[in-house]
Structures are given as structure tokens and as C-alpha cells.
Amino acid sequence: MRGSRIWLVLALLALSACEPPPTAQSPLAPVHDWRLTRLGERSDVPDGQSGPALTLLFDTAKAQVSGFAGCNRFAGGYTLNGAQLRFGPLAVTRMACEKGMELEGAYLAALAAADQLHLSGGELELVGPEGAKTALRFRPLQPPP
């Protein structure tokens, strides 16, 4: 009798080991694509050189981020652990534009400094260690489904 209990326990342990681990729901879901509306203390963020808005696009399945910075496009990896956010090195195209380069530099620097992610009222906020000076605020590019 005792031997059969041990086998039963071992069988249950083996079955539980076969279950896939629970997947963490991304706090970004269902919105992954964002438009920049505030950069630091500046709430009048203009569109980029060629007209489109400055963006931040998350691919949560691949832990990749990309977007438009005002003149150039960027892409790279990110890690998100709760509200803790870190962007990996971002690859940036290197076109020169007549306008928008100063804005692009400030945007990319703020992304590099960001270490906290907050969602509130349908908006995304990224904050760095200097608080409001490095804060980025985004609205969804499209409303969630």
C-alpha cells in the first residue's frame, strides 16, 4: 500500500511538471502602439520632420520596441518586470533632417533614461530617475479593440 502511494505521488509530480508555466499578461495589452504627447515638461510635442507623429511600438511577443523619433526610425529590445522598464541598445537610422533633430535627440535620451512604466486613464507614461524632466507620455495610436 505504501509503495503504491509513492508511485501515485511521483505520477502526480510528473504530470504537474508537464503543464506549461503560466504566462504573464503584458500590462501593455491590448494597446501596443503609442503616440508621444508629452516630452519632459513640454506638452506641445510636434510631429516629426516628414509629418508622422513620434511613436513607440511594442512587440510584446518578441520583447522588441520600435518607432519613429522625429527624423529617424529606431528599434531594439526591452525588458519589463512589473513597472520596471529597461530598453536595450536602440538601433537608429542616421538620416539628417532640416528640423526635428533636437526633438529626436531629446526623445531618444528620455527613452534611454526611462526605468518606470505607468498606465493610467488609457495613457502610457515612462519615467526616468529625474522624474518630470525625463517623463514621456503617450496616447494610443488607435483605440483598443
- CA-nearest of 42, 44, 28, 49 to 122 is 28
Given a contact cutoff of 8 angstroms between Cβ atoms, the answer to whether 92 and 72 are in contact is yes
pLDDT by residue for the chain (145 residues), tens only, comes to 444 444 433 333 333 344 333 334 456 665 789 999 988 876 666 655 556 789 999 998 899 999 999 899 999 999 998 889 999 999 999 988 887 788 899 999 999 999 999 988 889 999 988 766 668 999 998 765 5
Please give the helix or strand (H or E) that residue 48 lies within, else none.
none
- Look at residue 48 in the predicted model and tell me its pLDDT: 54
- Look at residue 130 in the predicted model and tell me its pLDDT: 72
- Look at residue 92 in the predicted model and tell me its pLDDT: 95
- Look at residue 59 in the predicted model and tell me its pLDDT: 92
Residues in CB range of 108: below 8 A, 6 or more apart: 69, 74, 90, 92
Q: What is the pTM of this model?
A: 0.74
CATH for 22-140, options being 3.40.50.1820, 3.30.1490.190, 2.40.10.220, 2.40.128.270:
2.40.128.270
Residue 33, burial from CB neighbour count under 10 angstroms (0-12, 13-18, 19+): middle
Q: Which residues pair with 39 in a beta bridge?
A: 42, 136
